[in-house]
Amino acid sequence: MFIEPIPLNKEIKGGVIYRFDVLQNVDSVFLDAKDMAFTKVELGGKKVEFTKTDKTISVYKKFKKDKSYKLTIEYLAKPKQTVYFLGWGDTIEGNEQIWTQGQGKYTSHWLPSFDDMNEKVEFDLFIQAGRKFDVIANGKLAVVPPQIDDNPVWLFNMEKPMSSYLLAFAIGDYSKQELASSSGVPIENYYYPQDSARVEPTYRYTQQIFDFLEDEIGVSYPWQNYKQIPVRDFLYAGMENTGNTIFSDGYVIDSTAFVDKNFVNVNAHELAHQWFGNLVTEKDGNHHWLHEGFATYYAYLAEKEIFGNDHFYWKLFETAKELQEISENGKGQALVDPKASSATFYEKGAWALVMLKDKVGDEAFKKGVSAYLKKHQFKNVTIEDFIKEVELASALNLDEFRAKWLLSTEFPYEDVKTFLMAKNKSIQTFFRF
Ligand SMILES: [Zn+2]
């Protein structure tokens, strides 16, 4: 795919070539494409009949089973959301940014693609931008654009398939800190050129978190590299685009601020999603625990590694009290409820994993997690896919766990309290006196 943002018009001029094999005879294929004008639609290099709505483009042809096809689409998009252009209308020099946020917003606003997470594609991205800007996207920068070109093209190559919502790019004026994990994965931490004194406190423990997660999860980091890019006015804490986390520049902090607010949890959370969400992706919203519960859980473990046991158990205690209150007010939700709140998916979701590990033991838990990831890598998953692997690894029947932690709307506070008292002396003391 080729993308040329036109910031003054807030438009994206683009082209995409999809190569695909047809699994069964069909008369048409469609892609999600929101409000686009198409300037070229070709199949195998020849014009082809197509129709469009405000949400899709359909291409008509007798597609034959087991044949390969090449679909070329050129277009102009004016995204109402998903791509954000900041700082282009003002007179401030160097504050211009363009970046994407695809989760829940749909990449099909700027690229004809697949809103259904079950369609995984191996993408390669060509992005053209003005010479003074850095372009950061998923994958490995294959060609460093020549400095003499006014509008250089950046080519990013990916090797593995992923869902469209994880595609992302950021364009702006950036410097970067380069690290590597102990396993040799390149890590790039981006920052605004004026923020060099904030690099160390902002990205403190990054390598340690990375090494810890690879080891704790028990499956190698699945992508070619890892990048973290702060942007302005981001609506969330961070977004785990594949190998390419974009986060709120509110987390760019100095040493003094570190104690009150730091990036450590978000850093670990988005990194954990690279396995839980990106490598294995939920089939649909009924399985959202597999994303947020897992990312929250592994981020807490990373914090435990850095800040110690007391920090970890007291943090869990805080969330338990919060969840108990929700539950007592009759507002508790089941983890399998696709409409559950973030307290349910994130905090109750993390708790479910804490208690599952406690039930089956560290070894069986880790064995189950890594079997689950390996078996379903680059595919889509259900909660049952995960539970089955833990049952196999532990030789236990987990029906009781399913009922108590996944299906029930209540929060099992007494179980949790007993667990915390057994694990942590200061919490034990707190309850005793
Ligand atoms: Zn998350």
Adjacent-strand bridge partners of 276 = 280
Cα of 412 from ligand 1 centre, angstroms: 24
pLDDT, residue 176, reads: 97
Residue 343 to residue 160: CA distance in whole angstroms: 32
**151 — pLDDT class (breaks 50, 70, 90):** confident
Q: Residue 143 carries which side chain, given as an amino acid letter?
A: V
Cα-based angle 157, 161, 164 (whole degrees, multiple of 5): 90
For residue range 347-387, list pLDDT tens digits in order.
999 999 999 999 999 999 999 999 999 999 999 999 999 99
Cα of 44 from ligand 1 centre, angstroms: 40
* Ion ligand 1 nearby residues (CB, 5 A): 292, 295
3-state secondary structure of 252: coil
Cα of 162 from ligand 1 centre, angstroms: 17
3-state secondary structure of 267: helix
**146 — pLDDT class (breaks 50, 70, 90):** confident
Cα of 292 from ligand 1 centre, angstroms: 5
Cα of 300 from ligand 1 centre, angstroms: 13
What residue spans of 157-240 are helical by DSSP H? 199-202, 206-217
Cα of 276 from ligand 1 centre, angstroms: 9
Token pair listed for 11? 């438009």
Cα of 342 from ligand 1 centre, angstroms: 10
**103 — pLDDT class (breaks 50, 70, 90):** confident
Rounded mean pLDDT of the chain?
A: 96
Cα of 391 from ligand 1 centre, angstroms: 26
For residue range 6-41, list pLDDT tens digits in order.
999 999 999 999 999 999 999 999 999 999 999 999
Residue 216 to residue 219: CA distance in whole angstroms: 8
**102 — pLDDT class (breaks 50, 70, 90):** confident
Cα of 239 from ligand 1 centre, angstroms: 7
For residue range 261-274, list pLDDT tens digits in order.
999 999 999 999 99
Nearest to 139 by CA among 308, 334, 1: 1
Q: Percentage of the chain surpassing pLDDT 90? A: 94
3-state secondary structure of 173: coil
Cα of 223 from ligand 1 centre, angstroms: 18
Cα of 367 from ligand 1 centre, angstroms: 23
**Cβ 117 vs Cβ 163: under 8 Å:** yes
Cα of 240 from ligand 1 centre, angstroms: 7
Residues 6+ apart with CB under 8 A from 16: 1, 2, 72, 73, 75, 111, 112, 113
Distances (CA, A) of 283 to 84, 148, 301: 28, 46, 26
Query: What pTM was computed for the model?
Result: 0.96
Cα of 345 from ligand 1 centre, angstroms: 9
For residue range 373-431, list pLDDT tens digits in order.
999 999 999 999 999 999 999 999 999 999 999 999 999 999 999 999 999 999 999 98
Cα-based angle 174, 159, 151 (whole degrees, multiple of 5): 40
Q: Residue 220 carries which side chain, given as an amino acid letter?
A: S
Cα of 335 from ligand 1 centre, angstroms: 15
Residue 144 has pLDDT above 80, yes or no: no
Q: Residue 136 carries which side chain, given as an amino acid letter?
A: I
Cα of 269 from ligand 1 centre, angstroms: 6
Cα of 207 from ligand 1 centre, angstroms: 20
Supply the DSSP string of 294-345, one letter for each residue: HHHHHHHHHHHHHH-HHHHHHHHHHHHHHHHHHHHTT----TT-TT--HIII
Cα of 263 from ligand 1 centre, angstroms: 14
Where are the strands (E) in 232-279, listed by range? Answer: 238-239, 244-248
Cα of 348 from ligand 1 centre, angstroms: 14
